[in-house]
Structure 1
Amino acid sequence: MEGQAGPKSIGASSLPGGGLPASTIVRPGQVVTEDPKGPIDGFVATRSSTATKTNTSLLETPQSVSVIGQEQLRATGAQTLTQATQYTPGVYSGVYGNDARLDWFLLRGFVAHDYGLYKDGLQLLNYGFNYFRTDPFGLERVDVLRGPSSLLFGSGTPGGMINTITKRPTSTPFGYVEAGADSFGNAYGAFDFGGPADNSGHWFYRLTGIGRGGGTQVDGVDADRIYIAPALTYRPDGATSFTLLTSYQKDWSGVTSNFLPYSGTAVPNASGLFIPRSLNVGDTKLNTFRREQAFIGYEFETAIDNTWTVRQNARYSYSQAFQNSFVGQLGYLAGTNETQLARYQFRDNSTVNLFQVDNQAQADFSDGLFRHSVLFGVDYKNYHLNDNQGSGFSGAGVPGISIINPVYGVTPLPVSSYLIDRDNFQQVGLYAQDQIKVTDNFSIIGGLRQDFASTSVTKLSFGNDTNRDDQALTYRIAGVYNFDFGLAPYVSYATSFQPQIGSDALTGAAFKPDNGEQVEVGFRLAPIGQKWMLSFAAFDLTRSNPLIPVVPGITSFTQNGAVNSQGVEAQFVANLFDGLNVTASVTAYDLKYTSGAQASLIGRTPTGVPEVFANFFADYTIPDGPMRGFGFGGGVRYVGTSYALDNAVQGKLVVPDYLLYDATVHYDFGNGVRASITGANLGDKRFVSACQDPNNCYYGEARRILGTISYKW
Structure 2
Amino acid sequence: MSSHRSVRTAALASFSLLAFAIGTDAVRAQTTTQLNELSVEGQLAPKGTGSGTLPGAGLPASTIVRPGQVVTEDPKGPVDGFVARRTSTATKTNTPLLETPQSVSVVGQEQIRATGAQNLAQATQYTPGVYSGAFGVDARLDFYQLRGFVASDYGLYKDGLQLLNYGFNYFRTDTFGLERIEVLRGPSSLLFGSGNPGGMINMITKRPTSAPFGYVEAGADSFGQSYGAFDIGGPADQSGHWFYRLTGVGRAGGTQIDGVDADRAYIAPAITYRPDGATSFTVLTSYQKDWTGVTANFLPYSGTVKPNASGLFIPRSLNVGDSKLNTFRREQFFIGYEFETAVDDVWTVRQNFRYSFSEAYQNSFIGQLGYANAAETQLARYQFRDSSRVNLFQVDNQAQAEFSDGLFRHTAIFGIDYKHYALHDNQAAAFPGPSLDILNPVYAGSNLIPTPYLADRDTFQQIGLYAQDQIKITDRFSIIGGLRQDFASTSVDKQLFGTSTKRDDQALTYRVAGVYAFDFGLAPYIAYSTSFQPQIGFDALLPGGPAFKPDKGKQLEGGFRFQPAGQGWMLSFAGFDLDRANPLIPVAPFITSFTQAGAVNSHGIEAQFVANLLDGLNVTASLTHYNLKYTSSQQPALVGRTPAGVPQTLANLFADYTIPTGPLRGFGFGGGVRYVGHSFAVDNALQGTVVVPDYVLYDATVHYDFGNGVRAAVTASNLGDKRFVTACQDLNNCYYGEARRILGSVSYKW
Asked if these proteins are the same fold (TM beyond 0.5), I'd say yes
1:594 maps to 2:631: yes
The structure 2 residue matched to 1:542, chosen from 550, 559, 579, is 579
Deviation sequence 1:496-533 (CA, Å, 0-9, x none)? 00000000001211000000000000000000010000
Correspondence for 2:32: none
Correspondence for 2:343: 304
Once the two structures are superposed, the pairs formed by residues 9-20 of structure 1 within 5 Å of their partners are 9=49, 11-20=50-59
1:185 maps to 2:224: yes
Please tell me whether the aligned partners of residues 605 and 646 of structure 1 are also in contact (alpha carbons under 8 angstroms): no
CA distance in 2, matches of 1:354, 1:651: 37
Alpha-carbon deviation of 1:463?
Answer: 6.9
5+ long unaligned stretches in structure 1: none
Correspondence for 1:22: 61
Deviation sequence 1:512-569 (CA, Å, 0-9, x none)? 0000000000000000010000000000001100001222223211111000001000
1:452 maps to 2:491: no
The structure 2 residue matched to 1:379, chosen from 401, 417, 422, is 417
CA distance in 2, matches of 1:265, 1:544: 33
CA distance in 1, matches of 2:353, 2:227: 31
CA distance in 1, matches of 2:459, 2:67: 46
5+ long unaligned stretches in structure 2: 1-36
Please tell me whether the aligned partners of residues 540 and 566 of structure 1 are also in contact (alpha carbons under 8 angstroms): yes
Alpha-carbon deviation of 1:645?
Answer: 2.0
The structure 2 residue matched to 1:692, chosen from 712, 724, 729, is 729
> 1:332 and 1:637, CA in 2 relative to 1: closer, same or farther beyond 3 A?
same
Correspondence for 1:366: 404
Please tell me whether the aligned partners of residues 643 and 688 of structure 2 are also in contact (alpha carbons under 8 angstroms): no
Once the two structures are superposed, the pairs formed by residues 219-618 of structure 1 within 5 Å of their partners are 219-335=258-374, 337-394=375-432, 398-462=433-497, 464-507=499-542, 508-618=545-655
Correspondence for 1:621: 658
The structure 2 residue matched to 1:64, chosen from 95, 98, 103, is 103
Which secondary structure state, in structure 2, belongs to the residue aligned with residue 28 of structure 1? coil
Please tell me whether the aligned partners of residues 645 and 654 of structure 1 are also in contact (alpha carbons under 8 angstroms): no
1:80 maps to 2:119: yes
1:6 maps to 2:43: no
Once the two structures are superposed, the pairs formed by residues 37-48 of structure 1 within 5 Å of their partners are 37-48=76-87
1:92 maps to 2:131: yes
Larger mean Cα displacement after TM superposition, 608-617 or 261-270: 261-270
> 1:384 and 1:236, CA in 2 relative to 1: closer, same or farther beyond 3 A?
same
CA distance in 1, matches of 2:687, 2:466: 46
CA distance in 2, matches of 1:542, 1:32: 39
CA distance in 1, matches of 2:149, 2:446: 39
> 1:412 and 1:167, CA in 2 relative to 1: closer, same or farther beyond 3 A?
farther
CA distance in 2, matches of 1:453, 1:656: 41
> 1:650 and 1:441, CA in 2 relative to 1: closer, same or farther beyond 3 A?
closer
Deviation sequence 1:172-216 (CA, Å, 0-9, x none)? 000000000000000000000000000000000000000000000
2:700 counterpart letter in structure 1 = A
Deviation sequence 1:79-103 (CA, Å, 0-9, x none)? 0100000000000002100011111
Please tell me whether the aligned partners of residues 604 and 646 of structure 1 are also in contact (alpha carbons under 8 angstroms): no
Deviation sequence 1:70-126 (CA, Å, 0-9, x none)? 110000000010000000000000210001111100000000000000000000000
CA distance in 2, matches of 1:67, 1:576: 17
Larger mean Cα displacement after TM superposition, 590-599 or 442-451: 590-599
Which secondary structure state, in structure 2, belongs to the residue aligned with residue 82 of structure 1? helix
Alpha-carbon deviation of 1:649?
Answer: 4.6
CA distance in 1, matches of 2:731, 2:453: 24
Which secondary structure state, in structure 2, belongs to the residue aligned with residue 497 of structure 1? strand
Kindly report structure 1 stretches of 4+ aligned residues shifted beyond 4 Å.
Answer: 646-651
Please tell me whether the aligned partners of residues 644 and 688 of structure 2 are also in contact (alpha carbons under 8 angstroms): no
CA distance in 2, matches of 1:691, 1:650: 13
**TM-align CA RMSD:** 1.0
Please tell me whether the aligned partners of residues 607 and 646 of structure 1 are also in contact (alpha carbons under 8 angstroms): no
CA distance in 1, matches of 2:144, 2:389: 23
Which secondary structure state, in structure 1, belongs to the residue aligned with residue 682 of structure 2? strand
Deviation sequence 1:561-583 (CA, Å, 0-9, x none)? 00000100000000011100000
Alpha-carbon deviation of 1:412?
Answer: 3.7
Please tell me whether the aligned partners of residues 680 and 688 of structure 2 are also in contact (alpha carbons under 8 angstroms): no
Deviation sequence 1:465-516 (CA, Å, 0-9, x none)? 1000000000000000110000000000000000000000012110000000
Alpha-carbon deviation of 1:411?
Answer: 2.4
CA distance in 1, matches of 2:295, 2:229: 24
Deviation sequence 1:307-331 (CA, Å, 0-9, x none)? 0000000000000000000010111
Please tell me whether the aligned partners of residues 169 and 194 of structure 1 are also in contact (alpha carbons under 8 angstroms): yes
1:704 maps to 2:741: yes
Larger mean Cα displacement after TM superposition, 12-21 or 55-64: 12-21
CA distance in 1, matches of 2:673, 2:271: 40
CA distance in 1, matches of 2:498, 2:705: 61
Please tell me whether the aligned partners of residues 247 and 296 of structure 1 are also in contact (alpha carbons under 8 angstroms): yes
Alpha-carbon deviation of 1:597?
Answer: 4.3
CA distance in 2, matches of 1:460, 1:676: 53
1:572 counterpart letter in structure 2 = F
Which secondary structure state, in structure 2, belongs to the residue aligned with residue 67 of structure 1? strand
**How many aligned residue pairs are there?**
708
2:746 counterpart letter in structure 1 = I
Alpha-carbon deviation of 1:635?
Answer: 0.1
Correspondence for 1:115: 154
CA distance in 1, matches of 2:737, 2:350: 42
CA distance in 1, matches of 2:142, 2:313: 25
Identify, as 1 or 2, the structure richer in helix. Answer: 2
Alpha-carbon deviation of 1:393?
Answer: 1.1
CA distance in 2, matches of 1:679, 1:627: 22
CA distance in 1, matches of 2:507, 2:360: 33
> 1:601 and 1:577, CA in 2 relative to 1: closer, same or farther beyond 3 A?
same
> 1:402 and 1:238, CA in 2 relative to 1: closer, same or farther beyond 3 A?
same
Which secondary structure state, in structure 1, belongs to the residue aligned with residue 52 of structure 2? helix
CA distance in 1, matches of 2:258, 2:627: 38
Once the two structures are superposed, the pairs formed by residues 158-237 of structure 1 within 5 Å of their partners are 158-237=197-276
Please tell me whether the aligned partners of residues 683 and 731 of structure 2 are also in contact (alpha carbons under 8 angstroms): no
2:602 counterpart letter in structure 1 = S
2:403 counterpart letter in structure 1 = F
CA distance in 2, matches of 1:696, 1:30: 55
Correspondence for 1:637: 674
Please tell me whether the aligned partners of residues 391 and 421 of structure 2 are also in contact (alpha carbons under 8 angstroms): yes
Which secondary structure state, in structure 2, belongs to the residue aligned with residue 74 of structure 1? helix
CA distance in 1, matches of 2:447, 2:124: 37
> 1:422 and 1:371, CA in 2 relative to 1: closer, same or farther beyond 3 A?
same
Alpha-carbon deviation of 1:650?
Answer: 4.4
